[in-house]
Amino acid sequence: MSSDTAPPHVVEDLFGVVQLLSDGSVIRGDESAIMPASPFPDVPGVQWKDVVYDATRGLKARVYRPESSAGAGDDDARKLPVLVYFHGGGYCIREYDQPPFHSCCQRFAADLPAVVLNVQYRRAPEHCLPAAVEDAATVATFIRVSLPKIIGDRSIMSGDATPTPAPDGVEDFFGVVRLLSDGSVLRGDESILMPVGPFPDIPGVQWKDAVYDAARGLRVRLYRPSSPVASAGGGGEGNTKLPVLVYFHGGGYCIGAYDQPMFHSICQRFASELPAVVLSVSYRLAPEHRLPAAIDDAATFFSWLRAQAVGAEPWLTETADFSRTFVSGVSAGANLAHHAVVQIAAGEIALAPAVRVAGYVFFSAFFGSVERTATETGSPACASTTAAIDQLWRMVLPVGATRDHPLANPFGPYSSGMEALPLPPALVVVPGLDTLRGHMYRYAARLEEMGKAVELAEFAGDQHGFSVRQWGEANEELVRILKRFVHQGPGAAPNRGEAKRVVARGGGVLLCTDMLNLALPDAPDGCCLAVVRAPAGMLMGNGGHALVLQLGPPWHRFVMCSPG
Q: Which of 213, 297, 321, 434 is catalytic?
A: 434
Torsion angle, alpha carbons of 471, 266, 330, 392, to 10: 80
Q: Are 441 and 449 within 8 A, CB to CB?
A: no
Cα–Cα dist 304/388, whole Å: 35
CA end-to-end distance (rounded Å), the chain: 45
Contacts of 47 (CB under 8 A, 6+ apart): 64, 65, 66, 67
- Integer angstrom CA distances of residue 75 from 159, 195, 399, 440: 11, 52, 44, 64
Minimal CA–CA distance to 494: which of 480, 505, 508? 480
What CA–CA distance (Å, rounded) separates 321 from 301? 17
Cα–Cα distance measured from residue 502 to residue 271, given in angstroms and rounded to the nearest whole number: 24
> For the chain, how long is the longest CA-to-CA vector?
98
Helix segments in 450-524, DSSP class H: 466-469, 473-488
281: amino acid identity, one letter: V
Integer CA distances (angstroms), 433 to 372, 378, 512, in order: 16, 11, 20
CA distance 558 to 458: 10
Is residue 32 annotated as a catalytic residue, yes or no? no
Confirm whether 464 is a catalytic residue: yes
Query: What whole-number distance in Å separates Cα of residue 103 and Cα of residue 125?
Result: 27
CA distances from 380 to 435, 436, 442, 461, 500 (A): 11, 15, 23, 19, 30
Give the separation between CA 415 and CA 407, rounded to whole angstroms: 8
Q: Give the torsion sign (CA, 548, 554, 557, 563).
A: positive
Nearest to 39 by CA among 108, 87, 103, 86: 103
Radius of gyration of the chain (CA): 27
Determine if the peptide bond prior to 287 is cis (ω within 30°).
Answer: yes
3-state secondary structure of 458: strand
Return the exposure string of 404-416: e unless at least 16 CB atoms fall within 10 Å of the residue's CB, then b: bbbbbbbbbeeee
Burial class (CB in 10 A: 0-12, 13-18, 19+), 227: exposed
Is residue 3 annotated as a catalytic residue, yes or no? no
Of these residues, 331, 364, 369, 467, which one is catalytic? 331
3-state secondary structure 544-555: EEEEEEECCCCC
Active-site residue (options: 338, 339, 464, 545)? 464
Which residues does the annotation mark as catalytic?
331, 434, 464
